[in-house]
Structure 1
Amino acid sequence: MPKVDLYRNVHMGQRMRLFSLAAELGAADMAQPDAIAEQVHRVLAMTEELREHADTEDTFIHVLLRDRAPEAADALDAEHLRLDAAFAVLDDRARALPGTSAGQLREAQHELYLALNEVISAYLVHLYLEETVAMPALWQKASDDELAGIFSAFQASRTPEQAVTDLQKMLPALPPATRLAIARSVTNAAGEEYAGEMLLKISRTLSASQRSRLYADLGVSEAWALPEA
């Protein structure tokens, strides 16, 4: 039976969306209507999400980590402080962008792009530390039941809408077998009456090819999940 990994899937989703944000911000045509507001919103939404993610880890994972592997917890605490400072710089640059003159906009866009990439580079190190230091420490120091309990407690803390959003953010970044296992679990939990509706919701952010593969792996047609006319 696979080990309970509290970081892997959500981190894969974060990496995918951070890389996409950086590429799209760098290439954005700021002369288009609402382009500046859109990019600023996306950057600020991402830093807010990453802060909330850190709070979630502190609440559900790092309490146990501090008890069983305090050295690893101390290292993560230091990382969070460093990241908070980088987030603040990025937020300031994003909020300043709408007030930039047309002549300075190109350079300001690139400076925001560089600040975002600085955050990404620091955040990748943080993710790697959690995945290669914190998680192995928990595997060694905590039981499978304790780790499963953490995951269950987190799931119980989410509203149905938040749970769907979590999956929509994560599933496109996962390999087909992992995506299938998650989709099967959540549709089974939804019950026969709501399984199609749930599948439609969680597959909304998948590419056409990913969605077709998922439905094929589940053995259902894409029309099966659509609401009746």
Structure 2
Amino acid sequence: MILHPQGGSFMKPRFNMFTLIHKGLRHALQQLVWSAGRLDPADAAQREEFLARFRQAAAMLHRHALDEDTHIQPLIDECAPAVGSELEFQHQRSDKLLAELERLAAAIAASPGFTEETRRTWLTFVDELGRFTGDYFLHLYHEECVAMPELWKAFEDEVLIETAVRLRNSVPPHIQDLFQRYMIPALNIEERTLMLATLKKSAPAPVFESVSGTFQELLAPEEWKELQTRLAAVAG
């Protein structure tokens, strides 16, 4: 749940299907853009480590697109066809830009050494990564600020939550783990508390303990301590 401002004041909190996962995707792409701009591409170890992280992010992006097309797009098409058509167009454009990035990354990885051609390909990749990220961020904004209000007008939170749960349960565990590793550090303390408190109430104890362990691993000690304090207050 998040508080969504409407009409200049905060109304009843509504369930937002996009907020948490979009924070994770922004985090992943921001890290890639930052890393690509500062690493030495002639250093094979740095280059290979970066390309491995890019492939992970690309896998998340492909899965996110599949999940939205399968579970969320039908709801938007039902309640706001024009918005649905625009989102479909944006998804197709993102797919093309990402495919070009993957082609460039594969060419860099296949190069036997760091030649002048590899350098040119790398510089093109960095430019295209920035282009993709800017375009993708605008797409995320459109989902959050255009599509989500249409969903709120058309559907009760129960329908949206059921859809989100069905979506999450369809994601393979190894992809869920990738999403969490980018999403958890990007959340604020209220979102982390709500996520774990909800999981503690609704999931089996081993699942809660496993996810809690991931939180502890990814957060700074002081952040983990504050989260534990907040969870204890909620439980009390």
Change (3 A) 1:25 1:145: same
Q: Which residue of 1 aligns with 2:14?
A: 3
Cα offset, 1:209, TM superposition: 3.7
User: How high is the TM-score relative to the length of structure 2?
Assistant: 0.82
Mapping for residues 187-198 of structure 1, pairs under 5 Å: 187-191=200-204, 195-198=208-211
Q: Which residue of 1 aligns with 2:163?
A: 150
Q: Which residue of 2 aligns with 1:49?
A: 60
Q: Which residue of 2 aligns with 1:223?
A: none
Q: Give the SS at the match of 1:203.
A: helix
Q: Which residue of 2 aligns with 1:14?
A: 25
Q: Which residue of 2 aligns with 1:141?
A: 154
Cα offset, 1:184, TM superposition: 1.7
Confirm or deny that 1:102 pairs with 2:114. Answer: yes
Whichever residue aligns with residue 16 of structure 1, its letter is: H
C-alpha distance in 1 between matches for 2:135 and 2:125: 15
Count of paired positions: 220
Mapping for residues 98-137 of structure 1, pairs under 5 Å: 98=109, 99=111, 101-104=113-116, 105-137=118-150
Mapping for residues 30-109 of structure 1, pairs under 5 Å: 30-98=41-109, 99=111, 101-104=113-116, 105-109=118-122
Q: Give the SS at the match of 2:17.
A: coil
Whichever residue aligns with residue 142 of structure 2, its letter is: L
Mapping for residues 166-181 of structure 1, pairs under 5 Å: 166-181=179-194
User: How high is the TM-score relative to the length of structure 1?
Assistant: 0.85
Instruction: State the 4+ residue runs in structure 1 displaced beyond 6 angstroms.
Output: none
Whether the aligned pair in 2 keeps the contact of 1:172 and 1:210 (CA below 8 Å) is: no
Q: What is the alpha-carbon root mean square deviation over aligned residues?
A: 2.4
Cα offset, 1:2, TM superposition: 2.0
Whether the aligned pair in 2 keeps the contact of 1:168 and 1:203 (CA below 8 Å) is: no
Change (3 A) 1:193 1:102: closer
Unaligned runs of 5+ in 2: 1-11
Q: Give the SS at the match of 2:15.
A: coil
Confirm or deny that 1:215 pairs with 2:228. Answer: yes
Q: Which residue of 1 aligns with 2:9?
A: none
Cα offset, 1:33, TM superposition: 4.3
C-alpha distance in 2 between matches for 1:197 and 1:102: 42
